[in-house]
Amino acid sequence: MRVPELCNSSEPAYILDLPEPFYKNIGSVQGWGKCKVWLYAEDGSYEGPFKGDVPDVGQSIRHRVVQIALG
């Protein structure tokens, strides 16, 4: 997923709705440069920010993610 500008924020700046097949199916994330990644569930709860390469986001959010935020 790409955003129009470089990430340089401590808060989510871009929120992206996940399409199939990623909807509720995120196992890992990788933020590039200064980008941090937040994973949001349908109920508004979230995990993050994640920085760099995270090979396992954990069972508590893995099958609940409906949006990804970058900042």
What is the structure's pLDDT at 7?
Answer: 80
Scored b (16 or more CB within 10 A) or e, 3-39 reads: eeeebeeeebebeeebeeeeeeebeebebeeebbbbb
Give the residue-averaged pLDDT of 31-56. Answer: 92
Prediction pTM value = 0.88
Give the pLDDT band (50/70/90) at residue 33: confident
